[in-house]
Amino acid sequence: MFAFQSPQPVQLPFPAPPPFRKHLKCTAARGSCRPPLCSLTSNPTVSTSTAADDKNRVIQRLCERGELKRALRVLSQETDPNQRTYELLILSCARQNSLSDGLSVHRHLLENGFDQDPFLATKLINMYSELDAIENAREVFDKTRQRTVYVWNALFRALALAGHGHEVIDLYRRMNWVGIPSDRFTYNYVLKACVVSECGLSLLKKGREIHAHILRHGYGGHVHIMTTLVDMYARFGCVKWAGIVFDEMPEKNVVSWSAMIACYAKNGMPFEALELFREMNLETNDLLPNSVTMVSVLQACAALAALEQGRLIHGYVLRRGLDSILPVISTLVTMYARCGKLDRAQQVFDKMDERDVVSWNSLISGYGVHGFGEKAIQVFNEMIISRIPPSPISFVSVLGACSHAGLVEEGKMLFDSMVREHRIFPSVEHYACMVDLLGRANRLDEAAKIIEEMRIEPGPKVWGSLLGSCRIHRNVELAERASARLFELEPMNAGNYVLLADIYAEAQMWDEVRKVKKLLEARRLQKVPGRCWIEVKRKIYSFASVDELNPQIEQLHALLLNLSMEMKEDGYVPQTKIVHYDLDLEGKERILLGHSEKLAVAFGLINSAKGETIRITKNLRLCEDCHSVTKFISKYTKREILVRDVNRFHHFKDGVCSCRDYW
C-alpha cells in the first residue's frame, strides 16, 4: 500500500486491540450497570462518573502545565479517560519530544477502545510526524477505518514534511478515488509535496493537474492556496506561470508578495524582484514586508551588486528590528560580500550575537568568490573551532574558494576530511568543485580520474566543470569526451555547444566549429545573450550585447572607440578569435566593442562621479577581451572597477586584476 522509506521504523509496543475490547469496559457512567457491579471507588457515595471526571481534569491540568510524567502516572490509575484527555497527552508528548511517552499514550488509548476515533488518529499522526516517526504515522493511518479528510490531511502533511512528495501524490489520487472531497488544507499539503520533493517533470505535471482541480472546485480565490501554487511553479522554474497565478489573485497578502519576489530572486531575475518589491511598497501601504521578504530582496541586491540599494534595505532592516533574525543577517553578509564590500560583510558578521552554519557559510563564500582562498580556509577552521559542524554547503564554499585561488593541495585535504572527520559523503556538487580545482590548475588527468572513480553518477555539473577546464587549457580530446556526455545529459543546453565551438576555434579547427553551429541550428538552440547590470545613483541599468536602445549608445561607442585606439598604442590586441562570425577584422573588432560589459563600463565612466568605484554584474563568464580591456581602462581612468561574472569577482585597479589572470 505504501512505499515505506524509513530505514528503522519504531515498532508500536502493542498488538491491535480485539474487536470487542471496548464493550468490556464498565459502563456505569452511561447508567447501564447495576449498582453492585459499579462499586469501583472506596467511597460508595461518590459516583464512578465523578471520580473519572476528576482524574480527567487532573491529567488535563498537568498536561497544560507541562508535567507530562505526573500526568502519565495519573493516567495509569484512570479507567475511563476521555477524548480531551488523550488529545492533551498526545500534544504534550510532541511538545516534549518524547517518542517513548507517545508510544505509551498510544498503547493506553488502544486499550481503552479509542483505536477508531478519527479525531485522535489525526492527533497521533501529527505527533509521530513531529517526532520523526513517519512509519508509525503511516501505521496509524493504515489501521484507521473511518478516514475523514482530516485524517488524510494529517498524513499528507506528515509525508510532505518528511520529503515523501511522490507518496503524497499517490495517496491524493486514492483519496479522490474513494470520494473524499478535498478542502483548502488538502490542496496546500499536496502542492507542498510537489515543492519538497526532487524536481522532475512528472511532479510538475501533477502540480498542474492539481492547479486545474483547484480551479474546478472553486478554490481559485483562496490566498493561501494560490500562494503555495506560486511557490510550486517557482520551484520548477516556471516563472511565467507563477506570475500568471500571482497577477490573477483577487487578494494578496505579505506572504503572496514575498513568494513572488522570491520566485524572481531564485530564478535569475533579480531586477524583476526589486521592481516587484518597489511595486509592493507603492500599492500596499498596510502590508509591511517581513523577514522572508527582506531575505529575497537582499538576495536580489546581491545578484545585481546593487550596493546602494542594499544599504537602503539594511537601514530598513534596522528600523524594523529585523536585525536579530539570523537568515536576514546572514543574507546581509552575503549581500555586502557580493557587492564587493568584504570589509562591511566582516563587520556585520562580527556584530552577530548568534551565528549558525549559514552565517559562517556566507562569509566563507564571500571570501571565496573574491579569490581569497586562504582567508576562506581560515574562516572555515574558525567555524570548526567554534564547534559549529560544517554542512555540505560549507564544503562547496571552501572548495570553491580553493579552486579560485589555485590552492590544490589544500582543497584535496579538505575533500578527504569530509568523510574521515565530518561524516559527510561527497555529492555531485563536491565532485564538481574538485574537478574544477584540478582542471583550472591544468591537472586534467587527475580531474578525469576523479570522474572515473566516482561512486555516483557524475551528472552535468561534473562534466561541465571538466569542459570549462578544457577550454582554459585548450584540451580538445578531453573536451570532446566531456561534451559528448553533456549532449546526452543536457541536449537542449546551448552553452555546452558554444563552449565546444570556442575550444575548436582556439585550436583553429574551423570545420568542427561549423559542425557544432549546424548542430545548434538543427536543434533550434540559441546562445544565452550576454547581459550586464550596473547601479548608478541608486538606479539599476541593464545592458545587452550590441545594445542599440540606450539613449547614450552613440556616446558610449565613441568613448570605447577612443579608448581602444589609445590601448592599441599601449600594446592592446583585440581578441578577435573569440568572434566566430565570418567577418573581416574590423567587423570582428566592432562586435567586441559592443559586448555588454564594455558598454556598462563606459556608462559608469560617463554617469558616475570622478573616482567613484564602478560595480558591474554579468550573467556569463567574463570574456578574455573584456578582461583585457577593463584592465587597461582601470589604468587610464584611475578608476576601481568591480566586475562579478557567473564564477567570481574581478577587482580591476591600476591595470591589474585581483584574479591575477587565474580564472
541-553 per-position pLDDT tens digit: 888 876 566 678 8
Q: What pLDDT, on a 0 to 100 scale, did the predictor assign at position 200? A: 59
Residue 300, pLDDT > 50, answer: yes
Residue 299 CA from chain centroid, whole number? 12
486-505 per-position pLDDT tens digit: 999 999 999 999 999 989 98
Q: What pLDDT, on a 0 to 100 scale, did the predictor assign at position 263? A: 95
Query: CB neighbours (10 Å) of residue 204?
Result: 18
Residue 11, pLDDT > 70, answer: no
Q: How far, in Å, CA of 555 to CA of 563, rounded?
A: 12
Residue 165, pLDDT > 60, answer: yes
Beta-bridged to residue 650, according to DSSP, are: 643
Model confidence at 204, pLDDT cuts 50, 70, 90, reads confident
Q: How far, in Å, CA of 279 to CA of 286, rounded?
A: 13
Query: CB neighbours (10 Å) of residue 658?
Result: 15
427-463 per-position pLDDT tens digit: 999 999 999 999 999 999 999 999 999 989 999 999 9
Nearest to 287 by CA among 263, 244, 257: 257
Q: Which grid coordinates belong to 505?
A: 576555434
Q: What pLDDT, on a 0 to 100 scale, did the predictor assign at position 38? A: 33
**First and final CA of the chain: distance in angstroms?**
53
**Do 213 and 194 touch, CB atoms closer than 8 A?**
no
Residue 571, pLDDT > 70, answer: yes
Q: Which grid coordinates belong to 599?
A: 558598454
Q: What pLDDT, on a 0 to 100 scale, did the predictor assign at position 52? A: 66
Residue recorded with cell 544565452:
528
316-352 per-position pLDDT tens digit: 999 989 988 999 999 999 999 999 999 999 999 999 9
Q: What pLDDT, on a 0 to 100 scale, did the predictor assign at position 557? A: 87
**Do 203 and 165 touch, CB atoms closer than 8 A?**
yes
**Do 100 and 128 touch, CB atoms closer than 8 A?**
no
Residues in the chain: 663
Q: How far, in Å, CA of 449 to CA of 489, rounded?
A: 20
- Helix residue ranges, H only, 82-217: 83-95, 99-111, 118-130, 134-143, 149-161, 165-177, 184-196, 201-216
For range 612-640, the mean pLDDT: 91
Q: How far, in Å, CA of 414 to CA of 398, rounded?
A: 8
For range 404-416, the mean pLDDT: 95
H-helix or E-strand spanning residue 348? helix 342-350
Classify residue 361 as exposed, middle or buried by CB count within 10 Å of its CB (0-12, 13-18, 19+): buried
DSSP secondary-structure letter at 660?
A: T
